[in-house]
Amino acid sequence: MAGALYGGVILDRFRHPRFFGELPGADLVHEDVNPLCGDRLRVEVRLGPGGELETVRFQGDACAIATASADLLAEMVEGRPARDASEVDREAILGRLGAPVRPSRLACVNLPVGVLRGALRAIGGGPGPGASPDRARGTGGGSR
Amino acid sequence: MTLDARVRGDFPILARTVEGRRLVYLDSAATAQKPRPVLEALRLFYERSNASVHRSIHTLGEEATELYEAARDRVRDFLGARYREEIVFTRGTTEAINLVAQTWARRALAEGDEILVSDMEHHSNLVPWILLARERKLRLRAVPVTEAGTLDLGVMDRLLTRRTRLVALTHVSNVLGTINPVGEIVERAQSAGARVLIDGAQAVPHLPVDVEALGVDFYAFSGHKLGGPTGIGALYGRREVLEPLEPFFGGSESVREVWLDRVTWNDLPWRFEPGTPPIAGAIGLGAAVEYVTRLGREAIRLHDLTLVRDALEQLADLEDLVVYGPEDPELRAGVMAFNLPGIHPHDLAAALDREGVAVRAGHHCAQPLMRRLGVTGTVRASFFVHTGADDVAALGDALRRARETLGSGRLRPSAS
């Protein structure tokens, strides 16, 4: 049943995330919300001597897909230069999640991508303001 | 025979399956499914009488106008309004509230005046007031929600002052299901000299509503939550309050005569219905109103109450599950929000969908209330006339299985 719902990678990363936690003394901190559901995610980054993302930690109150996506994203960018890190997009994460994600839940994958890019903007490593991980689907509010 | 057993065949969509299982539709508070008489009314209109209303002299035009205005009369009867001029068709509750904000309130309220809302409002009954307050330097104040999930009327009395010009509250909370004591609120508001607007979006599908008996000045609702089409709803506005107002939107139907430098306004209610209206939508709404009236609104309320009792019992059997809102079923309409600690509402909703159970998850466009409850979101099950004990049982079973599959997710530190 669990496998049918989300697939093994999502459930494993949700239950046992490797990159969740706080990072006291982080160089970069950014947080944002998913306007569709109110989920909030925060990223903290410590930079290495060469400007690379030495340590990356996420925290927040988020669903299994957003949590697993954040955890995979952290794994994919840790140790890499900011420029490379900001290029990791939703498609790259979807490729690692190993299970189809419905259109209504793509915003859950977008959330960590947007939060990390927000953090990297502070050092000129992210795309310009207004850039969004994905605009193929609206992120407006909902009905009652 | 229970109500749901009698009417289930009226809803063609309930015959479909989801994930190979019977559709258990528990998201009626977001939008209700449509009974056959509504679908038939739409089809018949388009197949037989489609024409524009009010100015087409030909036969079809006459028929369309007659059907459109007959729908207005049905809505008037449905709400217990005295005059048909008091029923303005809008796109829905949201537009109806914005209409009041941008016409009556913009004209009547001045700097320093206060609007009293509550912590359980849907964003649709907050954002129009926030916009107006910012522009006109008004102050929004909010009646708090008690631990029991009801409005704190004691605090409301203290917040009601000479400065309060409008009390804008929901009749039924779209999260807690709480039925607010509108009659009592109107008495208190009116003795303070304030007008009252009620957001009836979640009330009309569940409760008998009589705007004259309640004494409200404005009452807004959406057709699609009542089994009607989307894009149509209505505003009830007391005639003497609407009469001096100018239109919300300008356009053809809003005017009597137009010169390049001035206009004179059309009569109520057409002054507020510029442009070609959603004619089929209004006719569909009329059919929905007739449908629930025929089932009997007292009978619907009793059915709803039985479901609420049943659901509260079923959910109480699930260890750890937190149900929000009043414990007393009499204080609730068929809307029920809950959480399983440690499981995100969206994950829970996705797991339920795998079993054909459709529920809503998220903040339900009530973020001040989510903050009050200390959560980012909840799962919500909501009922309509076709909902039965089997649907509630299916919810309970699906929740039990979802807890097994998702329940061991660990709690992580929250962002501050």
Q: Can you give the residue ranges of every domain in chain A?
A: 2-121
pLDDT of A135 above 50: no
Across the range B41-57, mean pLDDT stands at 95
Tokens (6 digits) for B406: 């998702």
The pLDDT value given to residue A55: 97
pLDDT of B40 above 50: yes
pTM recorded for the entire structure = 0.91
pLDDT of A122 above 60: yes
Q: Are B143 and B368 in contact (CB under 8 A)?
A: no
Residue where a domain terminates, one of B236, B263, B293: B293
Q: Is B252 found in the same domain as B378?
A: no
Question: Which residues of chain B have a CB within 8 Å of the CB of A108?
Answer: 346
Q: Is B112 found in the same domain as B69?
A: yes
pLDDT of A137 above 60: no
Q: Are B225 and B29 in contact (CB under 8 A)?
A: yes
Instruction: Identify the band that residue B268 occupies on the pLDDT scale cut at 50, 70 and 90.
Output: very high
CATH number at residue B372: 3.90.1150.10
Q: Is B25 found in the same domain as B47?
A: no
pLDDT of B413 above 50: no
Q: Are B306 and B383 in contact (CB under 8 A)?
A: no
How many other β-carbons are positioned within 10 Å of the β-carbon of residue B141? 18
CATH number at residue B72: 3.40.640.10
Residue where a domain terminates, one of B293, B311, B340: B293
Tokens (6 digits) for B331: 């204080």
Asked if B415's CB is within 8 angstroms of A5's CB, the reply is: no
Instruction: Identify the band that residue B404 occupies on the pLDDT scale cut at 50, 70 and 90.
Output: confident
Instruction: Identify the band that residue B239 occupies on the pLDDT scale cut at 50, 70 and 90.
Output: very high
Residue found by looking up tokens 């005295």 in the block: B82
The CATH number of A2-121, from 3.30.1490.20, 3.40.190.10, 3.90.1010.10, 3.30.950.10, is: 3.90.1010.10
pLDDT of B137 above 70: yes
Helix or strand run (H / E) with residue B115: strand B114-118
Pairing outcome for strands B218-222 and B139-143: unpaired
Question: Which residues of chain B have a CB within 8 Å of the CB of A111?
Answer: none
The pLDDT value given to residue B407: 72
Q: Is B312 found in the same domain as B246?
A: no
The pLDDT value given to residue A126: 55
- Helical residues (DSSP H) of B92-152, grouped into ranges: 93-100, 106-108, 127-136
> Is B412 within the bounds of a domain?
no
Q: B381 phi and psi, to 5 degrees? A: -110, 140
User: What value of ipTM does the predicted structure carry?
Assistant: 0.77
The pLDDT value given to residue A71: 97
Tokens (6 digits) for B113: 């005046």
Cα(B255)–Cα(B263) distance, rounded to whole angstroms?
Answer: 7
Cα(B47)–Cα(B220) distance, rounded to whole angstroms?
Answer: 31
Nearest CA in chain B to A42: B415
Count helices and strands (H / E) in chain A. Answer: 6, 3
The pLDDT value given to residue B70: 98
Burial class (CB within 10 angstroms; exposed 0-12, middle 13-18, buried 19+) of A89: middle
Count helices and strands (H / E) in chain B. Answer: 15, 17
Q: Is B277 found in the same domain as B161?
A: yes
B224 secondary structure, DSSP code: G
Tokens (6 digits) for B317: 């059997």
Helix or strand run (H / E) with residue B297: helix B297-316
The pLDDT value given to residue B194: 98
> Is B414 within the bounds of a domain?
no
Across the range B375-399, mean pLDDT stands at 97
Asked if B202's CB is within 8 angstroms of A144's CB, the reply is: yes
Asked if A4's CB is within 8 angstroms of B370's CB, the reply is: no
Asked if A144's CB is within 8 angstroms of B124's CB, the reply is: yes
> Is B415 within the bounds of a domain?
no
Across the range A102-107, mean pLDDT stands at 91
Across the range B155-173, mean pLDDT stands at 98
- Chain A: give the shortest CA distance to residue B377, in Å: 7
pLDDT of B93 above 60: yes
Cα(B383)–Cα(B335) distance, rounded to whole angstroms?
Answer: 7
The pLDDT value given to residue B347: 94
Q: What is the pLDDT of residues A32-82, one digit of tens each?
A: 998 888 889 999 999 999 999 999 999 998 899 999 999 999 999 999 999
Q: Is B181 found in the same domain as B60?
A: yes
pLDDT of B107 above 60: yes
Q: What is the pLDDT of residues B283-322, one digit of tens each?
A: 999 999 999 999 999 999 999 999 999 999 999 999 889 9
3-state secondary structure of B386: coil
Pairing outcome for strands B233-237 and B255-258: unpaired
The pLDDT value given to residue A130: 44
Cβ-nearest to A5 among B225, B344, B354: B354
- How far is CA B115 from each of CA B105, B106, B160, rounded to the nearest angstrom? 10, 12, 9
How many other β-carbons are positioned within 10 Å of the β-carbon of residue A4? 11
The pLDDT value given to residue B236: 98
Across the range A99-120, mean pLDDT stands at 93
The pLDDT value given to residue B415: 43
The pLDDT value given to residue A125: 67
Cα(B361)–Cα(A27) distance, rounded to whole angstroms?
Answer: 35
Cα(B152)–Cα(B232) distance, rounded to whole angstroms?
Answer: 33
Cα(A14)–Cα(B254) distance, rounded to whole angstroms?
Answer: 56
Going by C-beta distance under 8 Å and a sequence separation of 6 or more, which residues neighbour residue A53?
A45, A46, A47, A77, A78, A79, A80, A81, A82, A85
Strongest mean pLDDT among A49-53, A122-126, B65-69:
B65-69
- Chain B: give the shortest CA distance to residue A112, in Å: 13
Pairing outcome for strands B335-339 and B322-323: antiparallel
Interface of A with B (CB under 8 A): 1-2, 4-6, 14-17, 20-22, 31, 36-42, 59-65, 67, 105, 108, 141-144
Cα(B234)–Cα(B240) distance, rounded to whole angstroms?
Answer: 18
Question: Which residues of chain A have a CB within 8 Å of the CB of B130?
Answer: none
Asked if B31's CB is within 8 angstroms of A1's CB, the reply is: no
Q: Is B300 found in the same domain as B288?
A: no
Across the range B399-404, mean pLDDT stands at 92
Tokens (6 digits) for A23: 């990072």
Q: Which residues pair with A20 in a beta bridge?
A: A58
- Chain A: give the shortest CA distance to residue B362, in Å: 5
Nearest to B284 by CA among B10, B46, B15: B46
Tokens (6 digits) for A16: 């046992």
The pLDDT value given to residue B191: 95
B376: Cα separation from own chain's centroid = 22
The pLDDT value given to residue B342: 86
Going by C-beta distance under 8 Å and a sequence separation of 6 or more, which residues neighbour residue B353?
B18, B19
Instruction: Identify the band that residue B60 occupies on the pLDDT scale cut at 50, 70 and 90.
Output: very high
Burial class (CB within 10 angstroms; exposed 0-12, middle 13-18, buried 19+) of A115: buried
- Write out the residue range of the structural domain in which residue B72 sits: 38-293
In the chain, the amino acid numbered B359 is: V
pLDDT of A142 above 80: no
Q: Is B288 found in the same domain as B358?
A: no
The pLDDT value given to residue B37: 98
pLDDT of B72 above 90: yes
Cα(B145)–Cα(B150) distance, rounded to whole angstroms?
Answer: 5
Asked if B415's CB is within 8 angstroms of A59's CB, the reply is: yes
Q: Is B179 found in the same domain as B248?
A: yes
Catalytically active residues of B, by annotation: 365
Q: Is B320 found in the same domain as B276?
A: no
The pLDDT value given to residue B410: 46
Q: How many CA atoms lie within 13 A of B194 on its CB side?
A: 27
pLDDT of B334 above 60: yes
Cβ-nearest to B413 among A22, A38, A63: A22
Q: Structurally, how many domains does chain B consist of?
A: 2
Instruction: Identify the band that residue A128 occupies on the pLDDT scale cut at 50, 70 and 90.
Output: very low
- Chain B: give the shortest CA distance to residue A111, in Å: 14
Exposure string over B176-195, b if 16+ CB within 10 A, otherwise e: bbbbbebeebbebbeebebb
